[in-house]
A = this chain, B = another copy of it.
Amino acid sequence: MEFNKADAPPRETTDRPRRTRDPDQTRRDLIDAAIAEFSEKGFSGGRVDDIAARTRTTKRMIYYYFGSKERLYAAVLEELYGGMRNAEQALPLARLPPLLALQRLVETTFDHHAAHPEFVRLVSVENIHEARNVAASPEIIKRNAAVIGTLRDLVARGENEGAFRPGLDALDLHMLISSFCFYRVSNRHTLAAIFGRDPLAPESVAAHRRMIVEAVLRYVAPG
C-alpha cells in the first residue's frame, strides 16, 4: 500500500519520468526557475524555497550547485546578459549600407527586448541594487562593452559616407535606441495602469517598432 510503484508514480511534478542523476539538467532547471522567480519578484522578494518548488529537485541542490541565493542570482544575470550579446553580434552590420545597418540594429534591439521581458526585469532589479553584481562580473562587462565598439564603427562609417551628420556620439546613440526598447517593457505595468493601454499588446508593437526606427533614423540624418 505504501510503495505502490506499479500503477501510479508515487510523486511527480510533471509526467516526464524524472531522470535520476542528471547534474547538468538539474543545474539548468534551477537557473530557469531562478530566472522566473527573480524576474517576477526581485532579489529580496524572490524565495529560495519557491525556486526549488518550481523544479523537480529540492532547495538542497541550490546550495550544492550555487552556494547561496546571491550566487544563484549572479549566475542568472550572466546567463541573461549572455543571450543579449549573442543577438547583437550575429548581425552582419559591416556589410550593409549605414542607414540600413542602423535600422537593422534598432529592430534587433527592439525585438530582443520584446522577446525577453525577464531580461529587462532583471536588469531593472540589478539597478535597484546599484549594479553590484554586474560590476563584479568582468565577463558581462567585456561582452556588453563590445557592442559599443560595433556601433562606433558604424557611426564613423556613416559619417564618412555622408549618410549620418557629424558629431554623433556612439554611446549616447546606443542609449537613445535602448531606452525606448527597454522602457516599454520595463514600465509596462505602470503604463498600462495609468493609460489603460498595454504597450506590449500586439497593436502597439508594430507602431512602436516603426516609431523608434523612424526617430533614430531622423536623428542621425544630416542637416
List chain A positions with a Cβ less than 8 A from chain B: 41-45, 121, 123-131, 134-135, 140-141, 144-145, 148, 169, 171-172, 175-176, 178-180, 182-184, 186-197, 199, 204, 207-208, 211-212, 214-216, 218-219, 221
Contacts and interface: CB of A to CB of B under 8 A. Distances in A.
Given A44-B44, A207-B169, A183 B193 contact: no
A66 to B, nearest CB: 20
Contact of A219 (B190, B196, B218): B218
A195 B121 contact: no
Contacts of A183: 175, 178-179, 182-183
Contact of A184 (B129, B141, B179): B179
Given A172-B208, A183-B183, A190 B134 contact: yes
> What is the total number of copies of this protein in its complex?
2
A190 B123 contact: yes
Contacts of A121: 127-128
A192 B131 contact: yes
Contact of A42 (B128, B180, B186, B207): B128
A207 B195 CA distance: 30
Given A179-B180, A215-B218, 8 more contacts: A134-B189, A144-B194, A148-B195, A172-B208, A172-B211, A176-B212, A186-B186, A218-B219
A184 B204 CA distance: 23
Contact of A190 (B131, B179, B190, B211): B131
A71 to B, nearest CB: 18
